[in-house]
Each structure stands twice: as structure tokens, then as C-alpha cells.
């Protein structure tokens, strides 16, 4: 779209519609853009940096990242609790600043032990910082802004990841230590900028001291909320289909050209950027979230069914099935993401968003760890029946949300003395 002087007013209006509301939502979007650009550059180069430049073996790289992943898995709740007690804005800013310093430390890693130590610390700070930012989001935004703003953040994050990946491609092409170091420096600067930007948000309050009879990490005792989060963990396996299952499936079981893998991943990224906000606007409360969550489970089953059909027939037929499956998959992904944001925010008690968001968002780390041992046996080695079994899991998770959410709503309303509202 060209921006010309004589149509400046129209262009500005159009641009504003493509961005979150001015003020806190737009500032959050900028934080997301900068943070994801640095992260995208780092993730793209990290494997080659640690193996080609630092000299780690593939085994050492894999073991180190697994250990760091486990460390990150347990970071959200305690750091979220810290955010609730010390202020989410201040905690998020501090953790981003510490992440920037830790990113610098990767430049000086020269052994496996140092790599594991730096990776674990970085994972702890990153997952803890994410929990604190989500708590800040809940604290400074109106409830009606939360889901739409998170939709914008997800769209902007995809743009940032693409920008970071593109910048990292330069370092990969030149393949020498100074260029990899430049990528690490870029990520550190991006984190430092985000730390400063967080302080431009309004100062957030802290929760009062806990009652004597209240557990320190109350979210771990909240079984209804934990059940909803567990269902979300299962549904989040769908995020790994394009990254793990699809490439292996296309290469081993279909006659489609392997280049279609990149095309489908690119399509998914573009669709999220263009459609996440629009789709999210139809999901604004618990009742609509439950309904569309259920629908997303059935749509994912349809995507799995079409993926399974791609193993039969000509290359053209395989490509058509894969394309149709990708369309269903991304639509279900958009619905599930928006519905999960409603669950995570609306079912959490006020003043406890740090630890509650930290716990709910642990699902991303959980899916990263579990996805390979679920998707490869089912969707790759299990053939067409394996895809159908995977789709059945998504249907089950889609149907399980309604009773789990009802339990969580009833529990929250009973604690507050509010009459139950059907979901």
C-alpha cells in the first residue's frame, strides 16, 4: 500500500486500524515487536553458533537445551508470584534487563558446563519475564481490551520473528564468529530496549500480604484452573504440527515436493498476522470462548484427516490436501489462541495474575517438550490412523473445556459469593 501526501489522512486512518489502540496497548505491541525480532534472530543462529563457533557436539547441544527447557518449565509460577508481590511492571523490566545480560554471556561460553548454566539462567529469566509481562498486561489494560490486545501482540510477534530471522540469515550466509556475535548483541540490545519500554507503562500495584491460611503459590492449589490449563496444554500440541510432524510426514509419506513445507509454514505465519485480530473479536467472554474452543477441536480433527489423505494419490492431489489441511489448521489455531486468552485471564483472580498467567503459559514449554514423543509416533510413524488418533485427541480436549471451565467459574463465584452464570 503506497502512502502519498494527498491521501495522508486516509492512510493514517488505515494504519491506525491496523494497530492496537494508542497508549498502553500500542506500547505493548512495540515491546512484542522488538522482543520477538531479537528472539527470532537468536533462535535462527543459536544452533550453528554453539556447534560451529563454540564447538559443542550435537549431543551436548540437545542435552543442554533439554535441561534448559525443564528449568524454564518451572519458572513461570514462582516468578509470577514475585511479580504479584513486587509489582508486575517492575518485575518484568528487571527480568528483561537480566535476560539482556545473560544473552551477552553467551558470547563468552566456551564449554558444555558454561553453556548449560547460561541456557538454564536464560530460560528461567525468559519464562519468568513472560509471566510478569502477562501480569502487567492484565494490570494496565481494561478487561475489554485484553483479548484483542493479545491478538495484536501475537500478530506483531510473528512480524518480529520474521524480521529477526531475515537479519540472522545474513549471519548464517557469512558464517563467521563476528557476525554471530552481532546477532547475540542484537538480541541483548532488543531485550534492554524492552526493559526500558516496560517502565513507560503505568506503575502497577502489588497484592496485600497473604493471609496466614493462604498458601504461598495459591495457583498450585486451584484444581479447577489447573484442569483448564491442562486441557490447554493438550490442545497446544497443535502448534508443533507444522514444525515437527508436517516436514517428516511430507518427506516420508507423500509424493508432494518438499518445498511445500516452507510454503505452508509461510502461509501459517501470514495468516496469523492478517487474521488473528479479526478472529479474536468474535471471542470476548467465557461463553463464546467455550463454544469456539469446542469448534476448534473438531476443525483440528478435519485438518488431521486431510493431512492423512495427502499420503494417497498424485503430487497434485497431495499438495491440494496439504493446502486444505493447512487452512483448517490455522483457523483452528486462531480460534484456540483467542479462547485460551479468555480462559487464562477471566478465570484468574484479581491480584494473582502473575502466578496464574505464569502457570497457564507453562503450556508452551510443556508442548515443546511433549510434542516430539506424541506427534512423531502418531502423525509420522502411525500413518493415516495415527493422524485420526491425533485428531480424536483434539476433539476430546475441545469437548473437555466446557465442564472444566464451568467448574472453574463455579469455584471462582462460590469464593466471591456470586450467583452462578451458565457457560
pLDDT at residue 6 tops 50: no
* Cα torsion angle, 358, 361, 365, 369, sign: positive
Name which residue leads in pLDDT, 192 or 368: 192
Closest CA to 199 of 357, 88, 79: 88
Which of the residue ranges 177-186, 365-374, 375-384, 386-395 would you say has the lowest mean pLDDT?
365-374
Task: Report the Cα–Cα distance between both ends of the chain, in Å, rounded.
Answer: 43
Give the mean model confidence (pLDDT) for residues 259-282: 88
Is residue 290 within 8 A of residue 405, CB to CB? The reply is yes
Confidence of residue 374 (pLDDT cuts 50, 70, 90): confident
Q: What is the pLDDT of residue 110?
A: 92
- pLDDT tens sequence across 14-26: 344 556 777 888 8
Q: Which residue has the cell 513445507?
A: 261
Most confident option among 242-246, 276-280, 295-299: 295-299
Percent of the chain with pLDDT over 90: 41
Closest CA to 346 of 405, 276, 305: 405
Is residue 363 within 8 A of residue 218, CB to CB? The reply is no
349 three-state secondary structure: coil
Instruction: Describe the chain by its helix, strand, coil percentages, rounded to 5.
Output: 80, 0, 20
Residue 316 Cα distances to 133, 246, 321, 324, angstroms: 45, 17, 9, 12
pLDDT at residue 9 tops 70: no
39 three-state secondary structure: helix
Mean pLDDT of the chain: 85
- Kindly report the pTM of this predicted structure: 0.77
Q: What is the pLDDT of residue 215?
A: 58
- pLDDT tens sequence across 107-160: 999 999 999 999 999 989 988 888 888 888 877 777 767 778 888 888 888 899
Is residue 89 within 8 A of residue 36, CB to CB? The reply is no
Give the mean model confidence (pLDDT) for residues 184-188: 96
Q: What is the pLDDT of residue 368?
A: 73
Q: What is the pLDDT of residue 360?
A: 84
Name which residue leads in pLDDT, 271 or 13: 271
Confidence of residue 421 (pLDDT cuts 50, 70, 90): very low
pLDDT at residue 328 tops 70: yes
Q: What is the pLDDT of residue 206?
A: 60
pLDDT at residue 87 tops 80: yes
pLDDT at residue 259 tops 50: yes
Confidence of residue 216 (pLDDT cuts 50, 70, 90): low
Give the mean model confidence (pLDDT) for residues 382-406: 95
pLDDT at residue 304 tops 90: yes
Confidence of residue 419 (pLDDT cuts 50, 70, 90): very low
Amino acid at each position: 500500500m503506497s502512502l502519498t501526501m494527498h491521501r495522508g489522512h486516509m492512510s493514517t486512518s488505515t494504519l491506525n486500524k491496523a494497530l492496537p489502540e494508542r497508549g498502553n496497548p500500542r506500547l505493548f505491541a512495540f515491546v512484542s515487536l522488538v522482543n520477538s525480532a531479537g528472539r527470532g534472530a537468536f533462535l535462527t543462529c543459536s544452533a550453528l553458533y554453539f556447534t560451529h563457533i563454540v564447538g559443542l557436539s550435537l549431543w551436548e547441544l540437545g542435552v543442554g537445551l533439554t535441561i534448559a527447557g525443564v528449568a524454564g518449565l518451572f519458572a513461570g509460577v514462582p516468578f509470577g508470584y514475585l511479580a504479584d508481590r513486587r509489582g508486575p511492571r517492575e518485575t518484568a523490566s528487571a527480568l528483561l534487563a537480566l535476560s539482556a545480560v545473560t544473552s551477552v554471556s553467551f558470547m563468552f561460553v566456551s564449554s558444555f558446563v558454561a553453556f548449560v548454566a547460561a541456557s538454564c539462567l536464560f530460560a528461567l529469566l525468559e519464562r519468568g519475564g513472560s509471566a510478569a509481562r502477562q501480569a502487567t498486561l492484565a494490570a494496565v489494560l481494561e478487561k475489554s481490551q485484553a483479548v484483542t490486545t493479545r491478538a495484536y501482540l501475537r500478530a506483531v510477534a510473528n512480524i518480529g520473528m520474521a524480521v529477526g530471522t531475515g537479519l540472522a540469515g545474513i549471519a548464517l550466509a557469512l558464517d563467521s564468529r563476528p557476525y554471530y556475535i552481532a546477532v547475540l548483541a542484537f538480541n541483548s540490545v532488543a531485550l534492554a530496549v524492552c526493559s526500558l519500554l516496560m517502565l513507560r507503562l503505568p506503575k502497577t500495584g502489588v497484592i496485600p500480604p497473604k493471609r496466614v491460611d493462604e498458601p504461598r503459590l495459591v495457583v498450585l492449589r486451584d484444581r479447577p484452573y489447573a484442569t483448564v490449563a491442562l486441557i490447554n496444554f493438550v490442545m497446544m500440541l497443535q502448534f508443533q504440527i507444522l514444525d515437527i510432524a508436517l516436514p517428516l510426514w511430507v518427506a516420508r509419506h507423500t509424493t508432494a515436493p518438499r518445498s511445500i513445507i516452507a510454503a505452508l509454514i509461510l502461509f501459517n505465519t501470514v495468516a496469523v498476522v492478517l487474521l488473528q485480530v479479526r478472529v479474536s473479536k468474535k471471542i470476548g467472554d467465557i461463553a463464546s470462548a467455550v463454544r469456539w474452543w469446542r469448534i476448534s477441536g473438531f476443525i483440528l480433527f478435519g485438518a488431521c484427516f486431510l493431512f492423512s489423505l495427502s499420503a494417497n494419490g498424485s503430487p497434485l492431489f497431495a499438495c491440494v490436501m496439504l493446502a486444505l489441511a493447512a487452512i483448517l489448521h490455522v483457523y483452528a489455531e486462531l480460534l484456540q489462541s483467542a479462547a485460551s486468552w479468555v480462559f487464562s485471564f477471566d478465570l484468574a483472580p484479581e491480584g494473582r495474575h502473575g502466578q496464574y498467567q505464569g502457570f497457564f503459559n507453562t503450556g508452551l514449554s510443556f508442548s515443546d517438550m511433549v510434542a516430539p514423543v506424541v506427534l512423531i509416533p502418531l502423525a509420522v510413524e502411525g500413518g493415516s490412523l495415527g493422524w485420526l488418533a491425533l485428531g480424536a485427541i483434539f476433539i476430546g480436549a475441545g469437548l473437555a473445556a466446557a465442564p472444566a471451565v464451568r467448574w472453574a467459574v463455579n469455584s471462582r463465584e462460590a469464593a466471591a459469593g456470586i450467583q452462578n452464570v451458565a457457560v
